[in-house]
Amino acid sequence: MSDKIRVLVVDDSLVAREMIITILSSDKDIEIVGQAKNGIEAVEMTERLRPDLITMDIHMPHMNGLEAIGQIMAYFPTPILVVTASVIKEDMDLTFESLRAGALDVVEKPAPENWMGISSIGKDLIKRVKLLSQIEVITHLKGRKRPSTLPPKITKEGVKFKVIGMAASTGGPSALLEILSSLPEDFPGCITIVQHIADGFTQGLVEWLDRESKIRVKEAKEGDRLDPGTALIAPNRFHMLVSEEGRIELNKKPPVFGHRPSADVLLPSVASVFRDRSIGVILTGMGKDGAEGLKAIKEKGGVTISQSEETCVVFGMPKAAIDLKVVDRILPIDRISQEITKECLS
């Protein structure tokens, strides 16, 4: 029996399918078991072939990628990597809705001149396929909703200003949506976020989260103030930290353990400035980014929270923080917004 990773490639463009197949087939550990040109074929072939992973385009005829992901994750749960070149708003929205529907991650579609997998994009595609194929995914039933347990109204009267430093990677967009969309309009804290995501997708993520949330969500800019009721997401390729004046600073210093932005840059700055008025949150993701930052917050008297294993897509980042013994509370994703609201009111 072959130990290769069995991949189904889904794209309406023959050129794009051949390009992705050429890149992935250049790795001896990957086997292409099928290719589909629309969502209908993708669902049928997933049921028949049971691949280890699917690469999924979004904009396709007859049934688009979002609809196909919904069908697949409801009936044949399979790790799905969205591979898209979409940069226009409508298609970017579909991309992030696909993550909500159960896809694990999104990457930029390689350009035709990078066919042979020797470019950084091609290598990244192979790396992600290998990592994501090992994840045990769960069934997603469309339309299932949990009732909110948050109070309908909070008051800022007498509340001291608190800042939350939050870190996420694989599975993070959906986790961030769960948290930010559950916060009340008059949320009294400021949230600073490092989300590891492929180049070109940060602004789309920001717009998606802002539209779905009652609080303001924006991509951080140099000099931005930290205001209550605001979530600031680090721009791609920049470290983000908080200055003594309570403003955002951005820099292009070297990556930390391969990450820029890095939560281990952001979180210690939040701890240094806000001390016991800081809250650290580590969400789903691969690796250990944020564990040392969470330690800094705990040492300054702040509160530290991690997402529970059973609600993570990947438990790597929370586990690293838990193993370091710097986590005060381990919570399922649907309780984190309530917890940080309660802490901001305390």
In this structure, the answer to whether residues 217 and 113 fall within a common structural domain is no
Residue 12 within a domain: yes
CATH of the domain at 69: 3.40.50.2300
Whether the pTM exceeds 0.75: the reply is yes
Mean pLDDT of all residues in 13-40? 94
Between CA 198 and CA 125 the distance in angstroms is 11
Clarify whether residues 126 and 170 are in a common domain: no
Structural domain range at position 87: 5-132
User: Does the annotation count 62 as an active-site position?
Assistant: no
pLDDT digits (tens, 9 = 90+) for 93-125: 788 899 989 999 998 887 665 555 456 778 889
Please report the pLDDT score of residue 204 as a whole number: 92
pLDDT at position 2:
63
Q: Which of 264, 289, 306, 337 is catalytic?
A: 289
Task: Please state, in angstroms and rounded to a whole number, the distance separating the CA atoms of residues 60 and 16.
Answer: 12
Do 92 and 172 sit in the same domain of this protein? Answer: no
Q: What pLDDT is attached to residue 274?
A: 93
Q: Could you confirm whether 169 is annotated as catalytic?
A: yes
Paired tokens of 10: 């889904």
* Active-site residue (options: 196, 224, 239, 259): 196
The stretch 191-214 carries a mean pLDDT of: 94
Please indicate whether residue 154 or residue 118 has the higher confidence score (pLDDT): 118
Burial of 137 (0-12, 13-18, 19+ CB in 10 A): middle
Transcribe 112-181 into DSSP letters. GGGTTS-SHHHHHHHHHHHHHTT-------TT--PPP-S-S----TTPPPEEEEEEE-TTHHHHHHHHHT
Q: Is residue 92 located within the same domain as residue 14?
A: yes
Looking at residue 158, what is its pLDDT?
Answer: 42
> Is 54 inside a domain boundary?
yes
**Residue 142 located in a structural domain:** no
CATH assignment of the domain containing 278: 3.40.50.180
Total number of domains in the chain: 2
Assigned domain for 113 exists: yes
Instruction: Verify whether residue 262 is a known catalytic residue.
Output: no
Read off the pLDDT of each residue in 59-88 and give the average, rounded to a whole number.
88
Q: Looking at 98, 169, 182, 337, which residue is catalytic?
A: 169
Which one has a higher pLDDT value, 118 or 234? 234
Based on the fold, state whether residues 28 and 119 are members of the same structural domain.
yes
Amino acid type, 169: S
Question: Do 125 and 203 share a domain, yes or no?
Answer: no
Distance, CA of 148 to CA of 183 (rounded, Å): 10
| Percent of all residues in the chain with a pLDDT value above 90, rounded to a whole number | 77
Q: What is the mean pLDDT of residues 141-158?
A: 42
